Structure 1
Amino acid sequence: MFDLNQLNPQQRQAVTHGAGPLLLLAGAGSGKTRVITCRIAHLVQQGTSPEQILAVTFTNKAAREMRERVQEMTGRNAVKGMTISTFHSLGVQILKSHIDRLGFKRNFSIYATSDQLRLVRELLREAGADSSNRDAEQMIWRISAAKNRLIDAGQYQPTLRDPLSHLVATIYPRYQKALKAYNAVDFDDLLLLTVRLLEGQSELLAHYQQRFVYQMVDEYQDTNPVQYQLLKLLAGGHKNLCVVGDDDQSIYAFRGADISNILDFEKDFPGTRIIKLEQNYRSSATILAAANQLIANNRQRRPKTLWTSSPAGYAIDYLRCEDSEDEARQVVELIHAETFRHQRKFSDFAILYRTNTQSRAFEEQLRYDNIPYVLIGGQQFFDRKEIRDLVAYLRTILNPADEVNLLRIINYPKRGIGENSIDQIIRRSAEQNAGIWQLLQQPEQFDGIGQKTLTAIAEFVALIKSYQSTFKNPLRLLDTLRQLLNELKLADEIYRQEKDPQTAQRRIENQNEILNSLGAYIERNERPSLAGFVDAISLLDADPAGKDDKEKLLSGNTVTLMSLHSSKGLEFPVVFLAGMEEGFLPHKKSLDVTCDIDEERRLCYVGITRAEQRLVLLGARQRRKHGKLELREPSRFLAELPQQLLATRQAGVPADDGEEQQEKSANQFFQQMQQLLG
């Protein structure tokens, strides 16, 4: 059971709303999940049958948590009859009962990615096209994007400027025909086929419209076209569709999310009642004022203003650091100061950034200071494949007898030394009790290995020996590493491997970050060497995230590192928002497109509203790119924040007024604002 009096006025209006479409514009930290669960419980208490309630969200975890909360309020029996699920689980439920109307059997299989790859590779071979994993993954990615935009195989149209689209136009229909022959569907079919089924079967659509009298959807701003169409069909009967979302937190356009779904909701559902949930239960008034003023600069949005009954709190710090390493040092120093001064735990802190490449400097500094951390939404920097591949080259150059790393790179990138040849080399090494490197220097002794492979082996040996010599010059370490990267053409290999150009670019940026790591190492050491650099990496790798401190990790007492995209839905007492510079936030790819700048501003807004008590913004005067320092411009978003609430200072220089004065200044600002508003 729950008490309506425990809700604020807007929450009560949302919970008790009766029939008709309802749009809940739920600002960050406004208790939207509580509102949804209370609304479901209220409907049951008012006599609605649990079987008539449908609640849809995006993840199994969110659906499970919603079910558990509703069960606490209504009891186990009521929850049993409800449909609380993800979009795809709902699709499975409908298709398992009716897919035979589309020519499938009801015991259809759902193909995993590995199944899709095998099928698409076979279709590519039949079409006489490249059937590599990379091309197969490209096909799957393109077909998935089409299905999410409601484009069937027969509707797909290639474009002149996109040669790959012509191959997709050939493979997509064959792929769908093969799936049907195998009585299988893929993950995207679970929604597209459900939509086509309901569109083509009017009596079936009427059945589900009558069954689901009340529908509720969480995170509506993240819906794509096929999800929108499914909801529109199901709500076409009673029109009791309640959607909850925040256009200011729409940050997944790259996944196909369409912000117009929430912006145009009342156009699609006439008679919509709009309720704004603007009271924030998370952040200080200062943080909310900054967030409100920032997001007001977006042109396409629904006006809303977050507010709180909490005190103004501290001013927002902006630290202009020298470079990436200084930025990381400042964050770690502030963590030490906050834990000492305010008895905070490490789990009170989050470091947020726009791109995963930015985590490298923070990971290094946290490890140097033995501060445990957890990396969310990505691998630790030195665990990433592209980094391990490059480091394997450096370790082999230093010690060719290291056969683990030698074998990792002997044919990476591919140079014509195939698996059969490598197996023969390994066998000969065991038979002669000789090292592989020793044998590689005498390739003519291998029987059965062709001349092309022997030439490739000789070139590989020459490459390693050449860099063994050039890396000995400590004054040219950076230039030599840059030369190695260019000669290996690892970037080309990554592009060949990856289906998604954006993923490939991120991996290449990660690899280039090694140059920046080496540059930072050179600055810290009077007598730098390649061996010293690799040793430093090895020491970091041997002690990831302070794993020796098991008690702290087991208790979850770790600093959190994550990208802004991964941070949505989370909150922390202290947030460090790093890389407040043009090119990072907003990201360089968005600088020429207005709608992309709006999404970047929403990302910044999400980052700011993760902070409960303290927000620290950081940027650098210069950063290394491919090992060379480049000047950086502060983010335009800094100028869009209320300057009265921003304590700007140079890194390492404490605020003159101190914390108490900062809090006093912020409170004075809010008193003046209240007087102006009357």
Structure 2
Amino acid sequence: MPENKYTINLNQEQKEAVLHGKGPLLIVAGAGTGKTTAITHRLANLIQSGLAQSQEILAVTFTDKAAGEMEERVDRLLPFGYLDLWVSTFHSFCERILKEHGLDIGLPTNFKLLDQTGSWVLVRQNLDKFNLNYYRPLGNPGKFIHALIDHFGRCKDEAIFPEDYLQYADDIKRNFDDGVFGSRAGDREDKITQKEAEIEQQRISELADAYHTYQRLLLENNALDFGDLINYCLKLFKERPTILDKYRSQFKYILVDEFQDTNWAQYELIKTLAGPANNLTASADDDQSVFRFIGASFNNVLQFKKDFPQSKEIVLKENYRSTQNILNLAYNFIQLNNPNRLEYQLNQDKELAVEAKEKGVELSSFKKIDKKLKASDQSAGLIEHLHFATLEQEAEGVAKKIAEIINNDKEANFSDFAVLVRANDSATAFFKEFERQRIPYEFLASKGLYSQPVILDIISYFRMLDNYHESPALNRLLGLPFLNVPAEVAAKINQHSKKRAQSTYETLQELSLVKGVSKESAQKIGFLVDLIKNHSKLIREKTVGDIFLAFLNDSGYLKYIVKQENDRDIGLVTQFYKKIKSFEENSPEPTLTNFMQAMDMELESGEAGSLEADIEKGPDAVKIMTIHSAKGLEFKYVFIVNLVDKRFPTIERKEPIEIPDKLIKEIVPSGDIHLQEERRLFYVAMTRAKRGLFFTSADDYGGTRKKKLSRFLGEINFKKPEAGAGGEVSLKPVEKGAEGKKSYNIPPYFSYSQFAAFDKCPLQYKFAHILRVPCIGTAVFSFGKTIHRTLRQFLENYLADQRKNQKELFRAAPDEKDHKKNDFSEPEQLKRIMAVYEANWIDEWYENKKQKQAYCKLGKEILKDFLERFLKEQPKIKFLDGRPSLELDFSLKIGENTIKGKIDRVDELPDGGIEVIDYKTGRGKEKLAKEDKEQLMIYQLAGEQIFKETPECLSYYYLENSEKKSFQSSEEERGRFKQEVLNKIEKIKNSDFKATPGWQCQFCDFKNICEFRKL
């Protein structure tokens, strides 16, 4: 394949990866070698060269963030828009497949997805259904339940179904009955006595039965866990060959990023889907395989070569991140994991050549691989080991070193520094020292949402509404930052409560009896009491989400954090709101009381709440994080701390319940597996550094004995520590004006709704699309969404029945044709559309029962009129890749910018050409305004790129009076409009988002928190 614009500025190995044609490809990509560049350019090249359309390529990775970044990069590379780009995580890919085809293997397609905490709660609520003896919890069942769920999860990593486990348990029992005794599960050598064998057989049977019970509970509750997504998708493909063939035909090319992090089941899924063409690209670095604790199979990288001996290997060696001395140190260190490394095994493994020959592939010409990285930057980096007497001095020393570098390196920012810890609890000493020394920092923990102050405030308010006698919760509320009742007043209130043996709330009801409360404090407390009384009335009739938004708005809390420009707290509030909305979607009664019961269950399980963090969007601050979290990131200066024995490397913690050896499908490497994993983790930490790498340690971490240095320091030849100095930090002051204009994180994609918001008020745009402030919904929004969902689902069902009917009529004998014909009469279809309407009704944001009933009635009238017109006119809905063009997601490219949206419907016109239709639930306008036409012109431009033809007719379908308003645009108008869009995007990118108050304020979702509003 010839070179093109996607290979410009790439090195030779990257070019080869991008231009590789058909057949399996293994990209061995070392740290910092531009692996993501190679993969995204390969994906874009496959599309641009015509080898595949966007929907014919599947690209999978491991996190939503990585998938989003890959899609953004491909967006920037492609000169045109596209319809459907399958870039996703393994789990989201499988969820999408099962939502469409789950019924084919007996799964409901409307299943809810449980995370580990959700699974824990399910087991906890049904503990009596587990027949446990060996594993019966004697005390708090929390840890025991986690052990069981972890075990079931590991089974699913290996694609071990409950029936496999039950069969194994039966085999064990049969052997025992026959007098054959083996060894304990997980121990190949340890032979056991008859009595031990009996206990072991009972233990295995109990586990198999528990696994079966757990899986049955999931299905009874219309739920799947994350392991199920992979396994059921694999089951679907293996048991339903027609469906497998459909997706094999669709996905001409498959790309897997971070292949070393796949587990056995994920790799089996990809192998199954890739055959028989095997146009499979796997990008991997076995030296960065550090997720074995969550099921990743280190051996998959080597297994790839065994499964595809004809594969091409491309090794990316040119490093664009680190200096050569840092790379040399890391490479020499990781050699200690030989022979269990890809480089060693591919170069030495004679068995591999024998296996390949058996498959008809000659490996005699196989070129040996070399993973030693070469730096593009030939300068020498800083590498130091700093040793201290105590942990406190170690933290001081790190702070001092950062200050020293900041003062000497004029180009360095605080965000150029990372402090990497082996575990989250090791971070405390460092961020406390940074606070003391006033060094800006950001602790990027993956857990801890529920312990964030702003979230604790909200949870405390919920507790207070749920139970007036929750005095600790009410005491926290007295200290809300925007109320700020003095501590001495709160102390007097508590003293009075204790004296009278009553709750704090009861004392607030008789506040006049408490001496020493000022008038100002009494007013603040009165406001809080009234708020609690008013919101208590909502508990029975409103959802927890309604109460959440009522508290934020009525209390002034949301207005307070917005005014403070506290982006972090706004982000935390948004994350918690997502949690609440997820609860509402999965709960038949989403009340505040039920939510608090679920929260208490989560807290009992040890769940602290997931935290979302985007390091690139954070403030200029030193980043403190675990090494696992740092994977894929890079920093100018890296500190790897607490390098002492038993902290890094850690002591191996075996799985509480191990999978029996005979059920394990993964080939486990020899040697100390845990130590090898810890070495890879240390290698990952070292290769994050660009210019400076600092190892730190101390003698005293609070124990009775002096700590030994980490063995890893010895392995990199830092046996004699250099004494590090602690002390106070002296930072040069930041020059006035150095901060410059505040920058905003503009969304990577644009949409018509974004343009409309910006036109109305730039501050509204900021609230909605940058800060993503939660806002109260409306009845119009819920109703509109209900109608759109109903029309899409009804039309999909109708068209599927129509096609099925045509096939059956074609196959049927003449005398059977009347019998085979489906009922497409208006009365029957009316029943069906009303059933779909009922199933899709969104019961949210209606002011009262009367309003809800009125909308419900209006919806039935709209659907009846729609159906009557649809059956009369019989419009021909356009099909694309075998699917009707209903609610088509699109990505439109204008200049270097991507606009995303959804087209409700595309019809084929009788005389040729296509019509783009957008549903509106209101009544038709006499004349379409300019902004109305602009929305449809975006859809028209998207249609040009998707269908390779310009939609001739652009229509709004006003459903309330069943009226269509259509227009056509000229090429000149479209050209002018494109320029207007580019100008608008430029304005958004350069805006300071100042408010433009006016008449529109009365309709703004954020009027309650905006200080500039005009009402």
- Same fold per superposition (TM over 0.5): yes
Structure 2 residue 121 is the aligned partner of structure 1 residue 46: no
CA shift, 1:306, in A, is 0.9
Structure ID, larger Rg = 2
Q: How does 1:442-591 map to 2 (within 5 A)?
A: 556-589=619-652
User: What CA deviation, in whole Å up to 9, does each residue of 1:413-450 have, x standing for no partner?
Assistant: xxxxxxxxx9x964599589999xxxxxxxxxxxxxxx
CA shift, 1:203, in A, is 2.7
Structure 1 length normalisation: TM-score?
Answer: 0.68
Contact 1:123/1:175 (<8 A) preserved: no
3-state SS of 1:621 partner: strand
Contact 1:142/1:168 (<8 A) preserved: no
1:57 aligned partner: 61
2:276 aligned residue (220, 223, 237) = 237
Q: Gaps (5+ residues) in structure 2?
A: 170-184, 186-198, 344-370, 457-469, 477-497, 515-601, 609-615, 655-669, 728-1015
Contact 2:64/2:89 (<8 A) preserved: yes
Higher deviation after alignment, 373-382 or 57-66: 373-382
2:394 aligned partner: 327
Q: Aligned-residue CA RMSD in angstroms?
A: 3.7
1:306 aligned partner: 373
- Ranked by relative contact order (alpha carbons within 8 Å, sequence separation 6 or more), the top structure is 1
Structure 2 residue 695 is the aligned partner of structure 1 residue 617: yes
2:677 aligned residue (599, 605, 614) = 599
2:952 aligned partner: none
3-state SS of 2:374 partner: coil
1:73 aligned residue (71, 77, 81) = 77
In the alignment, residue 336 of structure 1 is paired with which amino acid?
Answer: A
Q: Gaps (5+ residues) in structure 1?
A: 389-401, 409-421, 436-495, 505-552, 655-678
Contact 2:120/2:605 (<8 A) preserved: no
Contact 1:134/1:497 (<8 A) preserved: no
2:21 aligned residue (18, 22, 33) = 18
Q: Distance in 1 between matches of 2:674 and 2:115?
A: 32
Counting helix residues as a fraction of each chain, which structure ranks higher? 1
Structure 2 residue 431 is the aligned partner of structure 1 residue 363: yes
Q: How does 1:163-312 map to 2 (within 5 A)?
A: 167-299=206-338, 300-303=340-343, 304-312=371-379
Structure 2 residue 712 is the aligned partner of structure 1 residue 637: yes
Higher deviation after alignment, 140-149 or 299-308: 140-149
3-state SS of 2:342 partner: coil
3-state SS of 1:589 partner: coil
1:90 aligned residue (78, 81, 93) = 93
Contact 2:31/2:687 (<8 A) preserved: yes
2:384 aligned residue (298, 309, 317) = 317
Contact 1:27/1:278 (<8 A) preserved: yes
CA shift, 1:635, in A, is 2.0
Check 1:286–1:121 CA distance in 2 against 1; reply closer, same or farther (3 A cut).
Answer: same
Structure 2 length normalisation: TM-score?
Answer: 0.46
User: What CA deviation, in whole Å up to 9, does each residue of 1:599-654 have, x standing for no partner?
Assistant: 111111111111100111111123213xx4x21222222233267xx995211299
Aligned length: 509
3-state SS of 2:319 partner: coil
User: What CA deviation, in whole Å up to 9, does each residue of 1:164-215 have, x standing for no partner?
Assistant: 7655422322332343345442322111100011111223222222221110
In the alignment, residue 714 of structure 2 is paired with which amino acid?
Answer: A
Contact 1:359/1:561 (<8 A) preserved: yes
User: What CA deviation, in whole Å up to 9, does each residue of 1:203-234 have, x standing for no partner?
Assistant: 32222222211100000000011111101101
2:927 aligned partner: none
Contact 1:284/1:312 (<8 A) preserved: yes
Q: Distance in 2 between matches of 1:497 and 1:360?
A: 22
Check 1:116–1:614 CA distance in 2 against 1; reply closer, same or farther (3 A cut).
Answer: closer
Q: Distance in 2 between matches of 1:333 and 1:255?
A: 37
CA shift, 1:382, in A, is 13
Q: Distance in 1 between matches of 2:671 and 2:720?
A: 31
2:34 aligned partner: 31
Contact 1:210/1:237 (<8 A) preserved: no
1:351 aligned residue (414, 419, 425) = 419
CA shift, 1:117, in A, is 4.3
Check 1:178–1:650 CA distance in 2 against 1; reply closer, same or farther (3 A cut).
Answer: closer
User: What CA deviation, in whole Å up to 9, does each residue of 1:349-387 have, x standing for no partner?
Assistant: 1111212222121122111101121111256899699xx
In the alignment, residue 29 of structure 2 is paired with which amino acid?
Answer: A
CA shift, 1:74, in A, is 1.8
Q: Distance in 1 between matches of 2:202 and 2:154?
A: 17
Check 1:162–1:280 CA distance in 2 against 1; reply closer, same or farther (3 A cut).
Answer: farther
Check 1:178–1:163 CA distance in 2 against 1; reply closer, same or farther (3 A cut).
Answer: same
User: What CA deviation, in whole Å up to 9, does each residue of 1:396-428 have, x standing for no partner?
Assistant: xxxxxx9749999xxxxxxxxxxxxx9x96459
3-state SS of 1:188 partner: helix
Q: Distance in 2 between matches of 1:162 and 1:563?
A: 40
CA shift, 1:35, in A, is 0.4
User: What CA deviation, in whole Å up to 9, does each residue of 1:110-150 have, x standing for no partner?
Assistant: 34556544542343223466695555444433322221221
In the alignment, residue 226 of structure 2 is paired with which amino acid?
Answer: F
1:336 aligned partner: 403
Check 1:320–1:161 CA distance in 2 against 1; reply closer, same or farther (3 A cut).
Answer: farther
Check 1:554–1:67 CA distance in 2 against 1; reply closer, same or farther (3 A cut).
Answer: closer
3-state SS of 1:366 partner: helix
User: Percent identity between the aligned chains?
Assistant: 34
Q: Distance in 1 between matches of 2:151 and 2:47?
A: 43
Q: Distance in 1 between matches of 2:127 and 2:473?
A: 34
2:856 aligned partner: none
